Amino acid sequence: MRSDPKLSTRGLARLIEQVGKAAYNLGYTPGLNPAQWAALRYFDEATLERRTVTGFAQFQGTTKGTASQTVAALVRKEFLQRVGDKQDRRVHRLVLTDKGQALLKNDPLQDLSHALEILNQEERWALAVSMEKVLRQVIKL
């Protein structure tokens, strides 16, 4: 495998694909899908100014309509709530409810985080730097 650069990069690409699928599949839990988990994480971590449907859509690289459907489902399930902006009444910020914050304590992505603990700090750093480089290249395509 090492002697053929195309084979080694293809093999690595397949490995990344499998890790991605495994991580994505962790998001299928009773009552939520991976997009909804991604939204909960986003609204938990985003700055107040970015906690909008548009901000989430941009972060996910999806349409505003798709993001809006995900957000609407989380509002219906009472994991998110819309809060009007005091300076601009046209803008609604999205914040996690207590129920949403409690749910995040059982985030299935924690399983992947725990799996990464087999790597030492130097290995995690190298993986992060490498994956960011790959992601930036893929986004350009």
Per-residue model confidence (pLDDT) at position 75: 97
Is 6 a residue whose pLDDT tops 70? no
Per-residue model confidence (pLDDT) at position 11: 85
Distances (CA, A) of 50 to 14, 54, 89, 95: 34, 8, 16, 11
Overall average pLDDT of the 123-139 stretch: 92
Cα distance between the two ends of the chain? 26
Per-residue model confidence (pLDDT) at position 42: 97
Domain extent at residue 134: 5-140
Weakest-pLDDT range from 4-8, 26-30, 87-91, 111-115: 4-8
Q: Is 123 helix (H, G, I), strand (E, B) or coil?
A: helix
- Give the contacts of 25 (CB within 8 A, at least 6 positions apart): 34
CATH, residue 131: 1.10.10.10
Q: Binning pLDDT at 50, 70 and 90, where does residue 90 land?
A: confident
Please report which helix (H) or strand (E) contains residue 8, including its range: helix 5-25
The pTM assigned to this predicted structure is 0.80
Distances (CA, A) of 5 to 8, 12, 13, 141: 5, 11, 12, 21
Q: Binning pLDDT at 50, 70 and 90, where does residue 87 land?
A: confident
Q: How many structural domains is the chain composed of?
A: 1
